[in-house]
Amino acid sequence: MNESAYSFASMFDSVVAFVSQGLLNLTWWQTLLVALVLTHITIASVTIYLHRHSAHRALDLHPIVSHFFRFWLWMTTGMVTKQWTAIHRKHHAKCEREGDPHSPVIFGIKKVFWEGAELYRAEAKNQETMDRFGHNTPDDWIENNVYSRFPILGVSLMLIIDVALFGALGGTVWAIQMAWIPITAAGIINGIGHYWGYRNFEATDASTNISPWGIIIGGEELHNNHHTYPTSAKLSVKPYEFDIGWMYISILQAVGLAKVKKTPPKLAYGEVRAVPTEETLEAIIANRYEVMAGYATQLRAACQRELQGMKEGASASQAKLARRWLHRDDDKVPADVKPQLAQVRAEHPVLDKMVTMREELRALWSSTNATREQLAADLAAWCKRAEDSGIAGLRDFSIQLRAAHA
């Protein structure tokens, strides 16, 4: 083989190697690992920048960090900050009612899970939504002339970069990046996060926590916590819950690149007062979701004790339904279950008393006419009835309430 032919063959081999493996020359599993890292950066950008910073103003970000996230999202999703922010704010404003852009209650779980991205794009064309909910979003030169004007340009550049870095597998890497947010955010969070999972709090909507470990979707798995405290920069509230997005925010704050404005409230306890005061009332109202979550725990325990002997036939079925639904708010209980719960309550005065007193307690912060003095007196009367009821769970809960401080 002559020298020119050898040079051509060598150059051809180099081109083939570049096309097949790219500049990084990684194995398939190394490429997959890098792809997962890249998608995780995108998830972090969505939860920290778009969600907690832009939509809810739960934290302030340094301009360098904020612009990095904005640039990264332009490259990896083509999403426009104003559109995402406005649509999400509208979701909270009209959650699971007419006008909610992506509610499983309105559209059905299949529609939201499989076509969540289409629902997002349809709402992005609604100028009224943009005008009403899109305030305080980027309005600088690069936003108006690059990011918002040419959203396809960013993802196209990402495709070129992926192919250059990973070769033929770059197209797959790019496809994973493009599908990641539509699947995880539009499908799983907006769909499953209002359909299946556990609930720490009886928020006014059907939001659920998909998992106590918020890692894969950056902490957004803790969706019930978020809907209970939407302006909190931290989404985890229980000791066993982990919010990786909060971990990143904490690191950014430690190095001066972020400033947290709000986290979930925490009810403080001190010395048990002889009678609850207006300060007790104020603390309970400010932390009502946590208070009612504690009450639900007592009610579940009472259910377990009262119904432990019901293990066969129709009684066993009623017991199972009671354990699942009796601690839930009435508007969250399916209509076909309510008659059976009513029968359980009629047969078990302890459970009936606890459900009745739960509604009486809730009335304290639902009242719009009573004065603070009257509400404090009502709380004192409630505590006395609870402690005189002979029900251990009610007594213990009331004593704990009397120790609450603002």
CB 398 within 8 A of CB 387: yes
Q: What DSSP state is assigned to residue 34? A: H
CA of residue 167 relative to chain centroid, distance: 37
Backbone angles phi, psi at 27, to 5 degrees: -75, 170
Question: What confidence tens digit (pLDDT) does each residue in 101-156 have?
Answer: 999 989 999 999 999 999 999 999 999 999 999 999 999 999 999 999 999 999 99
Distances (CA, A) of 384 to 238, 327, 357: 30, 22, 12
Q: Distance from first CA to last CA of the chain, Å, rounded?
A: 88
- The span from the CA of 200 to the CA of 236, in Å, is 10
d(CA 280, CA 149) in angstroms, rounded, equals: 54
Residues 6+ apart with CB under 8 A from 355: 299, 326, 345
Determine which of 65-79, 210-224, 240-254, 303-317 has the lowest per-residue pLDDT on average.
303-317
Residue 310: band (very low, low, confident or very high) from pLDDT cuts 50, 70, 90: low
The letter for the amino acid at 244 is I
332 pLDDT more than 90? no
Residue 197's alpha-carbon distances to 14, 189, 206, 207, 233, in angstroms, are: 52, 11, 10, 9, 22
How does DSSP classify residue 389? S
